[in-house]
């Protein structure tokens, strides 16, 4: 407890780690199919507005709370909020970290498993979509396959977080993120050079406004939140390791830029290939694990590109999962005086166990449902649709109304003096978005996901 708190070794290290948290399954698995189902470029435009008007302001707030308090979410809200209600908002973040990682790691495990499947050449045997679907269903139906890979994925995340902020998370991100960017560029080039790629580009770049409804806006906002890792203190915790010379605004913009870029590139890589091989783009969540293997079967060089693709997906998932684990670990290290080693091993283990019923939701426990949702679906629903938006809502309210700009601004100014002096309209815009737009919009999403309208 008395040891000095760790810090990132460099600004770049923080940007890559935070971008690593943001860039994950949400970008590569979810974004392309959600955009594909909801009007292509029309969705993307609405999504970009949500990112700028709500995502970025909340992201900046989280980093700011973290840097000001140098603490995990619970400690941060205790220091600034000084009452039980705000502390419980921090605690909700830590609990969300537990739950999200438990199901996230299961999907991360599928991705790891698909690297093995791809390498063994299984994908080249698929004659049609049914064979690819049947293969996926049989894999996730196998408890041993799914739990072992979940264990492997958790072990990798645990190993990185054990190394600490600088030698684990930062070093890992500095190696993995550039690799991710390179693989992404290779896949985009492959996609663009396939015959018939323009149909895929058309699909994502051509706005189909008729497919847009009020619901689309809500989906876009929910996606903006999940993809930027907002609402549960991951960015707050990472922000607690930055120094006073960092410009929080500039960092926020860079993180958002990288996250959005990767989501768009994933869309290009996937849809050019899907269209060029004549597959169905609208296959929803199954797009990556069911449609893509068949796409690789039909594509020149598909063997190599399939391995690269699942490597990319796995890297993206790992750099997100370490940020989820770090939230839990930081709480036990800062607040309970645990050693990092004990916290990582114990809570990594508990999260692994919590993930077992998620893994079994696709086989043994598939009939074990509450309100029609399996354990896996429930974990996803409760966190993505309720806890994250609720957390984001209160973070915006906290900074704008409770803590107040007067107390918040001095720290924000550190490292961002030039903005305050020359471009103060940016600060004003941030204040207005956070005070009025973010809470109202988030509340609408929340009420919608609760089925109020």
- 396, with CB counted inside 10 A (0-12, 13-18, 19+), is buried
Is there binding between residue 200 and ligand PHE (CB under 6 A)?
Answer: no
Choose which of 173, 240, 290, 320 interacts with ligand PHE (CB under 6 A): 320
Is there binding between residue 412 and ligand PHE (CB under 6 A)?
Answer: no
Q: How far is the CB of 111 from ligand PHE (least distance, A)?
A: 11
The C-alpha atoms of residue 129 and residue 287 are separated, in whole angstroms, by 11
Is there binding between residue 25 and ligand PHE (CB under 6 A)?
Answer: yes
Minimum CB distance to ligand PHE smaller for 99 or for 356: 99
Asked if residues 415 and 244 have their Cβ atoms less than 8 Å apart, the reply is yes
Mask for 62-101, x = binds ligand PHE (CB under 6 A): --------------------------------------x-
Q: How far is the CB of 259 from ligand PHE (least distance, A)?
A: 8
Q: Name 207's bridge partners.
A: 40
Q: Is residue 67 within a helix (H) or strand (E), and if so which, with residue range?
A: helix 56-69
Mask for 209-248, x = binds ligand PHE (CB under 6 A): -----------------xx-x--x-x--------------
Minimum CB distance to ligand PHE smaller for 253 or for 429: 253
Is there binding between residue 55 and ligand PHE (CB under 6 A)?
Answer: no
Choose which of 323, 379, 385, 438 interacts with ligand PHE (CB under 6 A): 323
Q: How far is the CB of 242 from ligand PHE (least distance, A)?
A: 17
The C-alpha atoms of residue 222 and residue 212 are separated, in whole angstroms, by 15
CA distances to 78, 140, 376, 396 from 361, in Å: 37, 9, 6, 35
Q: How far is the CB of 197 from ligand PHE (least distance, A)?
A: 26
Is there binding between residue 254 and ligand PHE (CB under 6 A)?
Answer: no
Which of the ranges 130-138, 175-183, 205-213, 316-324 carries the binding residues for ligand PHE, by CB under 6 A? Answer: 316-324
- Identify residues 26-45 at the interface with ligand PHE (CB under 6 A): 26-27
Q: How far is the CB of 315 from ligand PHE (least distance, A)?
A: 12
Is there binding between residue 111 and ligand PHE (CB under 6 A)?
Answer: no
Minimum CB distance to ligand PHE smaller for 100 or for 273: 100
Q: Is residue 444 within a helix (H) or strand (E), and if so which, with residue range?
A: helix 438-449
Q: How far is the CB of 449 from ligand PHE (least distance, A)?
A: 16
* Residue 282 DSSP SS3: coil
Is there binding between residue 324 and ligand PHE (CB under 6 A)?
Answer: yes
- 193, with CB counted inside 10 A (0-12, 13-18, 19+), is exposed
Asked if residues 421 and 427 have their Cβ atoms less than 8 Å apart, the reply is no
Q: Name 40's bridge partners.
A: 207
The C-alpha atoms of residue 336 and residue 374 are separated, in whole angstroms, by 33
Choose which of 16, 22, 180, 416 interacts with ligand PHE (CB under 6 A): 22
Q: Kindly state the number of chain residues that form the binding site for ligand PHE, as judged by CB under 6 A.
A: 15
- What share of residues in the chain are helix, strand, coil (percent, to 5)? 80, 0, 20
The C-alpha atoms of residue 344 and residue 428 are separated, in whole angstroms, by 40
Is there binding between residue 319 and ligand PHE (CB under 6 A)?
Answer: no
Asked if residues 21 and 165 have their Cβ atoms less than 8 Å apart, the reply is no
Q: Hey, what's the torsion of the CAs at 295, 297, 298, 302, to 10 degrees?
A: 90
Interaction site with ligand PHE (CB under 6 A): 21-22, 24-27, 100, 226-227, 229, 232, 234, 320, 323-324
């Amino acid at each position: 407890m008395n040891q000095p708190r760790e810090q990132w070794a460099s600004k770049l290290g923080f940007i890559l780690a935070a971008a690593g948290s943001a860039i994950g399954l949400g970008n590569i698995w979810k974004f392309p199919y959600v955009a594909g189902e909801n009007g292509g470029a029309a969705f993307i435009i609405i999504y970009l507005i949500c990112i700028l008007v709500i995502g970025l302001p909340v992201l900046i707030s989280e980093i700011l709370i973290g840097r000001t308090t140098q603490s995990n979410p619970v400690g941060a809200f205790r220091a600034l909020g000084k009452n039980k209600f705000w502390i419980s908002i921090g605690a909700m973040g830590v609990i969300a970290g537990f739950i999200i990682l438990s199901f996230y790691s299961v999907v991360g495990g599928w991705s790891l498993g698909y690297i093995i499947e791809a390498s063994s050449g299984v994908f080249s045997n698929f004659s049609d979509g049914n064979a690819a679907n049947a293969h996926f269903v049989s894999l996730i139906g196998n408890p041993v396959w799914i739990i072992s890979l979940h264990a492997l994925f958790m072990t990798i995340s645990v190993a990185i977080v054990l190394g600490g902020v600088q030698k684990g998370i930062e070093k890992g991100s500095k190696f993995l993120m550039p690799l991710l960017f390179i693989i992404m560029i290779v896949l985009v080039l492959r996609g663009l050079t396939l015959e018939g790629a323009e149909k895929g580009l058309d699909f994502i770049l051509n706005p189909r406004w008729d497919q847009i409804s009020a619901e689309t806006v809500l989906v876009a906002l929910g996606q903006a939140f999940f993809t930027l890792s907002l609402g549960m203190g991951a960015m707050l915790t990472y922000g607690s390791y930055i120094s006073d010379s960092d410009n929080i605004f500039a960092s926020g913009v860079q993180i958002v830029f990288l996250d959005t870029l990767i989501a768009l590139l994933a869309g290009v890589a996937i849809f050019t290939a899907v269209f060029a091989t004549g597959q169905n783009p609208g296959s929803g969540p199954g797009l990556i694990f069911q449609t893509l293997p068949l796409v690789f079967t039909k594509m020149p060089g598909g063997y190599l590109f399939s391995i690269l693709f699942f490597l990319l997906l796995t890297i993206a998932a790992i750099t997100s999962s370490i940020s989820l684990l770090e939230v839990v670990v930081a709480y036990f290290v800062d607040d309970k005086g645990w050693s990092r080693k004990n916290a990582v091993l114990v809570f990594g283990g508990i999260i692994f166990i919590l993930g077992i019923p998620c893994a079994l939701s696709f086989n043994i426990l598939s009939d074990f449902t509450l309100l029609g949702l399996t354990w896996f679906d429930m974990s996803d629903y409760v966190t993505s649709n309720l806890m994250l938006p609720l957390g984001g809502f209160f973070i915006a309210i906290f900074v704008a109304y409770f803590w107040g700009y007067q107390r918040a601004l001095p720290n924000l100014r550190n490292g961002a003096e030039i903005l305050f002096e020359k471009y103060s309209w940016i600060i004003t815009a941030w204040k207005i978005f956070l005070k009025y737009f973010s809470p109202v919009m988030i509340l609408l999403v929340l009420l919608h996901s609760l089925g109020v309208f």
